A and B are shown apart, each in its own frame.
Chain A
Amino acid sequence: MGIKDNKFETVMELVKKTMVLTVDESEINENTELVDIGMDSISFITLIAEIEDYYEVEFPEDKLIIENSSTIAKLIDTLDYLGI
C-alpha cells in the first residue's frame, strides 16, 4: 500500500507539472477523469513522456490512447503491469 501511495504521489506531481489544473489539488483522487480537470492531447503526450522518463519504462501501445490512460488509477495499473 505504501508503494502505491508513493506512485500516486509521484504521478500526481507529474500531472501537476504537465497541465494547468482547473480544480484544487485536494479534489483530485485516483479515479478523477484527467480530461475533466484540464488535460488536453498535448498535455497527455507530455504526461506520458514524463512518466516514461521518470520510471524508465515504455507504455504498451494500447495505453497511449487517452481513454485507456485517463485517470491516475489507470496510469498506476499500467505501471504495475510494467513491474514498477
Chain B
Amino acid sequence: MKTPREYALVIVKPDGVRDNKAEEVLDFFKNNDITLVKSVSKKVTKAILDDIFTSKHNGAFYKKYMTSDKMIAYLMEGNNGFEQCRLLKNRLREQYGVDKVIENICHTPESGNEYMQQLRFFFPECCDGKYQLYSDVYCKVYASSDYEYMKNCLNSYREKTNSRLIFVFGNEEMHAYGENIAKFYLEDEAERNFVGVEYIVALGKDKLKIVGYYNAKTISSLQCENVYLYRSVQEVLDLIAKNNGIPIWGYNKEIKNIMEYFEEYPLSGAIVYHPLYSIKETELLREFVEEHGMFSLGGSGGAHPGECSISYSLFEKFENYFLQSRQICRRKIDCHIHTKYSDGLSDAEDIVGKCKELEFDCFAITDHDTICGLKKFEETAVGNLIFGTEITTICFGTEIHVLAYFPKVPSDDFEAFLKNNRIKNGILLHRCQKNKESNVNTVKDIAKMIRQYGGISIIAHPYNYWDLIDEIIDDCDGMELIYPSFEKKDIENIIEKYGNRCRFFTAGSDFHGDHFTGNDYIIKYCQVYRNYLTPFLNYFKIK
C-alpha cells in the first residue's frame, strides 16, 4: 500500500550550523525523496527551550549548547515523511560518525505536541492547520439534534486541516444523538474510519477518562447507556469489549492516575500527545506506555481540530492493531491444565473443546508425568494447543514440579521415560524423608531430557519452593509467572529477581476440576504482563 504524504521537521542543531553542514543535511534528505517546503534560521532562547524541546539530558551543558547558536529548521514533505525523516536522521548521524548524545548535527521532533511546539516556534505562519501530521486521533467534537448543522460543522473541521480527523464524542452525546452520528458515518466516504466515544469514570476523588474506539461503519449498532459518570472502570471496559471496541486512556489531567490505574485495568493504549500535556509529561507518559506494550496516540482533544496530531507510522500501528484486536486485545492463555489422564476431573476432549469455544489464544494440557492423552489431538491439529506435562522432580528433599512444553507430541519412549522417572522419584523421595540432609537434585537431568525431546522446561508455581529457585532456575528455561495464588506483588517480585535468568515466562491456572470456563484472574494478568509472555508465545509460533 502506498503510504500517504506527510510533513516533517528536520532541525539542524548548533554544531551542524557552525560546521556548515546545513546544506549537506538538506541534500541528504532531498536525495532520499524528501522535498523541502520551507526553511528558516532561528536562535532558541533559554527561556523557551524547555517548552519546545524534550531531552533526557537536561543539564546546563545541554542548555548552553542548544542556545549557543542559530538553528536551521527545514519543513519537509515526503511519503510517510515523518517516519522517513526520523530514520534518515539516524542514518545521517551514522554517516557522519556522530555518536554523541547531545551534539549530533540534527534533530527531528516527536509526534504530537513536540512537533506542534516546534512548528509554532520556527514556522508560526504554518500553524493554520495545513501542515499537520497524519492524524488527529482525539478530535473531540459535539453532536447535535440538527443533523445538517452537525454534518456541516464536522465537514468544516475536516476542510480546515490536512490532518485526518478521528472524531471523539462524549458518551452522553452518543446516547442522545447516536442516530445522527450513525447517519453521518453511513454517508461518509472515508474508508476504514474510526469513531471514539469518551467515558468518564469517577473513582474516589479521581475522574478518569477512557475512550472506546469503534469501527465507524458499525457505529449504528453501538450499544450505549445514558450514563454521565461511571463508577467502575471494569464496567466501561466490558461495555467497550461488548461493542468490539478498543479501550484507550483519554486525556487525564493527572498522568500519575493513568500510571496507577493502568496496572489494575490494562487498556490498549493512551492519549499521550495532547496540547494540555507539557512536553515533559508527554515524554514520561510515552515511556511508561511503551514499556507496558501499549499504544501512544494523540490529538487535539478540544483544541483546534488537527492542531495536535500523530504521525502516520503511529497511526498505522494503531490501525493494524484495531484490525487484529480480537486476538490481541484480550489474550486468553492458560498453560497449566489437568485432565483425567492424571488427577483432573475433566476429559481432555472437553478441555480442548471448551478452549476452542472460548477462543483461547494458547492453552496446554499438562497432566502429571504423562503425555498419553495428547497423541489424538496432534492429528486433529487443534491450533494453539501446546503439548505439555508436569514432571515430578526432587531438589534437596523437596518435590519440585517442572512443566515441559513441546511443539509436537514427543515420541512414545518419552512416555516410558516419564513413567520410570515417576517411580524413581517416588523412591528418591522416600530416601529423602529418611535422610533429611539429602542433596539429590534431579531437576537438571529432567530439564536436559526435556530439551533432548525438543521441549522447554518451566518451573511450575515457584512460590511452593521459593528458597530453592536459585538452585534450579539456571537449569530450566523459565518459570510460571502468573498463577491463581500469585498476587501482583508476587508477579513483580519474580520479574525483579529472575527476569534476567528466565528465557520464558508462562501463565497457568493449574485447573483440576470439571466444567472448565477459563480463569478470569489468569486472563486479566496475561493482559497486564503480556510483554513477558511474548517469548513463550513466539517460541510456539502463536500469533
Binding site for B on A (CB under 8 A): 41-42, 44-45, 48-49, 52-53, 58-59, 61, 64-66
Contacts and interface: CB of A to CB of B under 8 A. Distances in A.
A17 B434 CA distance: 20
Contact of A65 (B423, B426, B428, B430): B423
Contacts of A48: 427
B431 A52 contact: yes
A66 B424 CA distance: 9
Contacts of B120: none
A59 B427 contact: yes
B434 A45 contact: no
Contacts of A59: 427
B430 A49 contact: yes
A47 to B, nearest CB: 10
Query: 5 tightest A-B contacts by CB?
Result: A45-B426, A49-B430, A64-B424, A65-B420, A48-B427
Contact of A53 (B420, B423, B434): B434
Interface in B409-450: 419-420, 422-424, 426-428, 430-431, 434
15 contacts: A45-B426, A45-B427, A45-B430, A49-B426, A49-B430, A49-B431, A52-B427, A59-B427, A64-B420, A64-B423, A64-B424, A64-B427, A65-B420, A65-B424, A66-B420
Contacts of B426: 41-42, 45, 49
Of B419, B423, B434, most buried by chain A (CB within 10 Å of CB) is B423
Nearest to A49: B430
Contacts of B431: 49, 52, 58
A61 B423 CA distance: 11
Nearest to B426: A45
Contacts of B428: 64
Nearest to B445: A61
A41 B423 CA distance: 6
A7 B422 CA distance: 27
Interface majority SS (helix, strand, loop, mixed), chain B: helix
B301 to A, nearest CB: 67
Nearest to B430: A49
A49 B419 contact: no
Interface residues of B, number: 11
Contacts, number: 32
Nearest to B419: A41
Contact of B423 (A45, A52, A58): A45
Centre residue among A41, A59, A66 by max chain B CB count within 10 A:
A41
B506 to A, nearest CB: 28
Contacts of B434: 53
Given A48-B427, A49-B427, 14 more contacts: A41-B419, A44-B423, A45-B426, A45-B427, A45-B430, A49-B430, A49-B431, A52-B427, A53-B434, A58-B431, A64-B424, A64-B427, A64-B428, A66-B423
Nearest to A68: B420
Contacts of A45: 423, 426-427, 430
Contacts of B423: 41, 44-45, 64-66
A41 to B, nearest CB: 5
B393 to A, nearest CB: 14
A35 to B, nearest CB: 12
Contacts of B424: 61, 64-65
Contacts of A64: 420, 423-424, 427-428
A80 B286 CA distance: 73
A58 to B, nearest CB: 7
Contacts of A52: 427, 430-431
Interface string B271-312: 000000000000000000000000000000000000000000
Contacts of B430: 45, 49, 52
Nearest to A64: B424
Contacts of A42: 426
A48 B423 CA distance: 10
Interface string B343-369: 000000000000000000000000000
A36 B426 CA distance: 21
B427 A41 contact: no
B414 to A, nearest CB: 15
A64 B417 CA distance: 12
Nearest to B424: A64
A64 to B, nearest CB: 4
A64 B423 CA distance: 7
Nearest to A50: B430
Contacts of B422: 41
A59 B427 CA distance: 9
Contacts of A65: 420, 423-424
Nearest to A69: B423
A66 B428 CA distance: 15
Contacts of A53: 434
Contacts of A58: 431
A58 B430 CA distance: 11
A16 B420 CA distance: 23
A55 to B, nearest CB: 13
A53 B435 CA distance: 11
Interface centre among B419, B420, B427, B428, by most chain A C-beta atoms within 10 angstroms, is: B427
B368 to A, nearest CB: 12
A48 B427 CA distance: 7
B440 to A, nearest CB: 10
A54 to B, nearest CB: 12
Nearest to B369: A41
A52 B426 CA distance: 13
A44 B425 CA distance: 12
B341 to A, nearest CB: 15
Contacts of B427: 45, 48-49, 52, 59, 64
